[in-house]
Amino acid sequence: MSYQAGRATLIGAVVALVASMSAFGAGNDESPASGGGEVNIYSHRHYSTDDELYRLFEEETGISVNILQAKADELMARLEREGDASPADILFTVDAGRLVRAKDLGLLQPIESPQLARNVPPHLRDSDGYWYGLTRRARVIVYHKDRVDAADLSTYEALTDPEWRGRVLIRSSSNIYNQSLLASMIANDGQAAARTWAAGIVDNMARTPTGGDTDQIKAVAAGEGDVAIVNTYYVGRLQASESAENRSVAEAVGVFFPNQDGRGAHVNVSGAGVTAHAPNRANAIRLLEFLSGTEAQYLYATANHEYPVHADVAADPALAGWGEFVSDDLGLQILGELNSDATKIFDEVGWR
């Protein structure tokens, strides 16, 4: 399926899903081998790709998919309030740090699934089966093609060198992506090295952190800074945008994978787990298995520009055009375990 055809399919799928969605019900747990019933998702994600996948799952299984969308912290607070009366079967959010937090709060339950174990590599899922990564995104350096020679780039750490003073763009320390990146540095190199890096980035910032990853990319293209640290799928979305202005922004920047001679580029996930009191547990497991399969992984890759977790599914051609890269295979659950250490360091060095 071409990208253009995929976009047309997605638009139609969103309309169909919205028209068919029912309100959350009390639940009707079906065995994984049977059809019917429902599955209720609390989702932090907001992509038309996801809607298309849920429609396909409904067609394949006869299980109705109901979705409640909100920010991750709001969804977790809601699950806490609802307790064992919650209608939610799945919590779907971004970043392993949040998934670990949900586990620690007692909002998820462990599941066993040979299919998920085959499809999702061990370092991209919880070791006890509480959550599973379903898409990958690398945290990379984007640079202004006319102002920076890619040969001058090497590692995250090198961006603290004096030559980058006033040239680095990055979002706030309150952002989970940055917290997990710093947590990975603590895990790999220790707290002292992580603190040195964070302080060095503060010294080299082109401006006070503001906006999201897309804003950092646009600021690089506009010359407000020369490099930024962002997640890959934001670049992919700009490249595939229907807006000529967005495509122009993507054309102005290059993508560089750091630390290729060492631990590799930092990789995180968006992922999901079955909620602690899921009324439709079997259906929830069946949906997670479906989302980890080759059909869903292909759509995540080609329509949403995320890297698949399934080893048999290739990356989107636009992302593949950036080249193969070495990724840090650190077990992602440690990112959540070290989150408080990372946020403490950010506060100590004045990264706002």
Which two tokens mark 244? Answer: 């000529």
Tell me, what's the pLDDT at 62? 97
The dihedral built from the CA positions of residue 63, 67, 73 and 77, taken in this order, carries a sign that is negative
DSSP 32-75: TTS--SEEEEEES---HHHHHHHHHHHHHH--EEEEEE--HHHH
Residues 211 and 334 in one domain: yes
- Predicted confidence at residue 46, as pLDDT, reads 86
Closest Cα to residue 30, out of 263, 279, 290?
279
In single-letter form, the type of residue at position 185 comes to M
pTM of this prediction? 0.87
CB-based contact 62:38 (threshold 8 Å): no
Residues 191 and 232 in one domain: yes
Residues 155 and 234 in one domain: yes
Terminal Cα distance for the chain, rounded: 44
Same domain, 112 and 212: no
Task: Judge if 227 and 280 occupy the same domain.
Answer: no
Please report, for the domain that includes residue 17, its CATH number. Answer: 3.40.190.10
Q: CA-CA distance, 195 to 346, in Å (whole number)? A: 8
How many domains would you assign to the chain?
Answer: 2
| Three-state secondary-structure class, residue 228 | strand
- Same domain? 177 vs 217: yes
pLDDT digits (tens, 9 = 90+) for 270-325: 999 999 999 999 999 999 999 999 999 999 999 889 999 999 999 999 899 999 99
CA–CA dist 132, 102 (Å, integer) = 12
Structural domain boundaries enclosing 289: 3-136+268-315
328 and 311 belong to one structural domain: no
Beta-carbon contacts of residue 242 (< 8 Å; ≥ 6 apart):
none
pLDDT in tens, 57-66: 999 999 999 9
Residues 154, 250, single domain; the answer is yes
216 close to 139: Cβ distance less than 8 angstroms: no
Do residues 275 and 193 both lie within one domain? no
**130 and 246 housed in the same domain:** no
Residues 278, 252 share a domain: no
The span from the CA of 307 to the CA of 83, in Å, is 34
Query: DSSP letter string over 259-289?
Result: -TTTT-BEEEEEEEEEBTT-TTHHHHHHHHH
Q: Are 120 and 132 in contact (CB under 8 A)?
A: yes
Residues of the chain with pLDDT under 70: 1-35
Write down the pLDDT at residue 35: 57
Give me the pLDDT at residue 36, please. 74
Q: Are residues 179 and 67 in the same domain?
A: no
- Max CA-CA distance within the chain? 62
Beta-bridged to residue 129, according to DSSP, are none
